[in-house]
Structure 1
Amino acid sequence: MGSENRKRNKNVHIRLSDDEFEQLRKKAGYVSLTVPGLLRELAIHQKIRQPQSPLIDRDGAFSIADELRAIGTNINQLAKKANQGAQVIGLEGVQRELGRFWQLLSSKLPR
């Protein structure tokens, strides 16, 4: 006879402090279960919350930072030329880059 006829033939071992075990024993007693029965009920039937996804994923944040650096470099070059008295042209390109940046940023934010 023995263990080959058991429905539950898998074991899970955890380590608990005396205090943790006593807390579990009390909680199990409140609902007329054994400690293993309580743990089984909690593990199988308790709803687990899905973790919240981050607002911006890490790769997206690095991509956005790269875009910002490139735009900042272009703006600094234009400002330097303007301060030297040169006629500044090419602002349309900066506006296009800013538009691309905002599209990229918008695609990374949760809806």
Structure 2
Amino acid sequence: MKRKKMKSGRSDKSDTCQYIRNKQIHIRASEDEFLEIERRAIQERKTIAKYLRDKALGNNKSKIYKNNEDMFLTISTLNQIKKIGTNINQIAHKVNAHSSKEQYLEELKGILHELKELALRGNR
């Protein structure tokens, strides 16, 4: 009988299975095979269980970075976008609290310009 989860099993929401996993699969592997499976799972930034489930079920949709520089640029860009979002929320709060909106509109234009630059950088 399938039992639905009350909430996701992982805090980062990467666990998309809506049912409780209560079945186990035991396999045997040589030391070399295990180390290779572990290496590949780490390379894809997954647990061994998640890596093996994805391989067995054909769910190989995760992004594999060509090198650490690609990963760093992606994370850096996402952090910059998060900071810009925080700035937009602060400006929206100020605009709603005050009647002088001209200053905040200029700030918003600057932020939009930054977002366009980030988007252009990401498309290269």
**Shared fold (TM-score greater than 0.5)?**
no
Smaller-chain TM-score bracket: 0.3 to 0.5
TM-score by length of 2: 0.37
Larger Cα-atom Rg: 1
Query: Highest relative contact order (Cα 8 Å, sep 6+), 1 or 2?
Result: 1
TM-score by length of 1: 0.41
Q: Which structure: greater helix fraction? A: 1
